Amino acid sequence: MGLLVEGEWHDQWYDTKSTGGHFVRKDSQFRNWITKDGGAGPTGEAGFKAEPNRYHLYVSYACPWASRALIMRKLKGLEEMISLSVVNPYMGENGWTFEEGKDVIKDPILDADYLYQVYTHADSNYSGRVTVPVLYDKKTNQIVNNESSEIMRMLNSAFDEVGALPGDYYPEELRSQIDEMNDKVYHGVNNGVYKAGFATKQEVYEEEVTKLFNVLDELEEHLSTRNYLVGEKLTEVDWRLFVTLVRFDSAYYGHFKCNIRELREYPNLWRYTRELYNYKEVKETVNFYHIKHHYYGSHPTINPNRIVPKGPELDWSI
Ligand SMILES: N[C@@H](CCC(=O)N[C@@H](CS)C(=O)NCC(=O)O)C(=O)O
């Protein structure tokens, strides 16, 4: 694992010393938007019009943030319109790579060996982390956006007039409730598992893991009287929660020590996760081989021998 400093790759683990043992996530830097007419979005510059076959998505099947984008691409039927690359699950001294391996889809655009080359191609002086997902413009050869919450939003609606499937996962009338729930889910769960798992001090881990399970308890209660987090149908916040829950027992419970309870011990959350897993073709975006091999294999400070556990055996049927 590493990062780019003025376009040069440095192999370096997260710095938690300067933050007292806490893992602090950095903001994504590429923030342009694809829009129906090519006008600027809520952030960034204009010029990225929704056109079939113009954009490419770089993801990791292991990564929950990338999976949000992958799920939206699937729900909106954009597979033919937005091409895809999938990195190798192992993230080592060169960060994400396109090294051959099970289910890897190489980079057809730059033929890069490493994802950081996509970043330096777009900005030869880039400084920062090299993360997935990355939404890339093949026409102008630049990164449009590398922030999954924004990529989800643009895929939700920008391509509606050029052949996307119907479905609005961020409906106008529910936006304020969705935003509020997104905040809880992001801080409490999506980033919560990382804050527990990457903590480097006992008291920080205990504090974070307790907070995580308090939010899971709250969500379990919330789902006792309703099927979805907000309103009567699935919205983006359900998919944002799903990507963490679907990894919970296979990766976070063991590798990140989020083990106060298994997800399967929560009847409502477990029912909900299985339902979303079986929704349309969403299960095709969930790759447990990549998930387990990435987490257990890529963090030597947590699991130095990189042994990947065989279990658990999960029954996803509904
Ligand atoms: N805020 C970003 C976070 C993306 C992210 O952290 N992705 C992880 C994989 S799960 C990554 O690529 N990490 C590489 C690194 O931090 O060096 C988003 O939501 O898109």
- Residue 249 near ligand 1, beta carbon < 6 Å: no
Q: What is the mean pLDDT of residues 197-204?
A: 98
Neighbours of 12 (CB within 10 A): 11
* CATH assignment, 172-279: 1.20.1050.10
Asked if residue 65 has its Cβ within 6 Å of ligand 1, the reply is: yes
Per residue in 6-53, pLDDT (tens digit) is 999 999 877 788 888 898 888 889 999 999 999 999 999 999 999 999
**Mean pLDDT, range 63-83, rounded to an integer:** 98
User: Residue 208's pLDDT is what?
Assistant: 98
Task: Give the rounded percent of residues in the chain with a pLDDT score beyond 90.
Answer: 94
Domain boundaries, the chain: 2-162, 172-279
Does the beta carbon of 150 lie inside 6 Å of ligand 1? Answer: no
Sheet holding 142-145, edge to edge: 82-86, 55-59, 134-137, 142-145
Sorting pLDDT into bands at 50, 70 and 90, what band is 191? Answer: very high
**Does the CB atom of residue 63 touch ligand 1 within 6 A?**
yes
User: CA-based angle 221:222:224, to the nearest 5?
Assistant: 65
The answer to whether 131 is a known ligand-binding residue is yes
Whose CA is closest to atom 6 on ligand 1? Answer: 131
pLDDT tens digits for range 144-159: 999 999 999 999 999 9
In sequence order, what are the residues at sequence separation of 6 or more whose Cβ sits closer than 8 angstroms to the Cβ of residue 16?
22, 23, 24, 198, 199, 200
CA geometry: angle 102, 239, 199, nearest 5 deg: 75
Q: Which residue has the higher pLDDT, 99 or 28?
A: 99
pLDDT per position as a tens digit, 245-302: 999 999 999 999 999 999 999 999 999 999 999 998 999 999 999 999 999 999 999 9
Q: What is the mean pLDDT of residues 208-219?
A: 98
Nearest atom in ligand 1 to 63's CA: 10
Indicate whether residue 137 lines ligand 1 (CB < 6 A). no
What is the whole-number distance in angstroms between the Cα of residue 242 and the centre of ligand 1? 17
Mean pLDDT of all residues in 115-135: 97
Q: What is the pLDDT of residue 15?
A: 78
| Top mutation candidate among 65, 189, 290 for ligand 1, by most atoms within 8 Å of CB | 65
| CATH class (in words) of the domain with range 2-162 | alpha beta
pLDDT above 70 coverage of the chain, percent: 100
> Which tokens hold the place of 152?
């989800």
Distance CA 212, CA 270 (A): 16
Tokens of 66: 């990338």
Rounded CA separation 310/226 (Å): 34
Q: Is 132 annotated as a binding residue?
A: yes
Residue type present at position 213:
F
Residue of the nearest CA to atom 5 in ligand 1? 131
Flag whether the ipTM exceeds 0.90: yes
Give the integer Cα–Cα distance in Å for 161 and 171: 17
What is the atom index within ligand 1 of the atom nearest the CA of 65?
19
User: Which residues form the catalytic set?
Assistant: 63, 194
- Token pair belonging to 154: 């643009």
Rg (CA), the chain: 19
2-162 and 172-279 share one fold: no
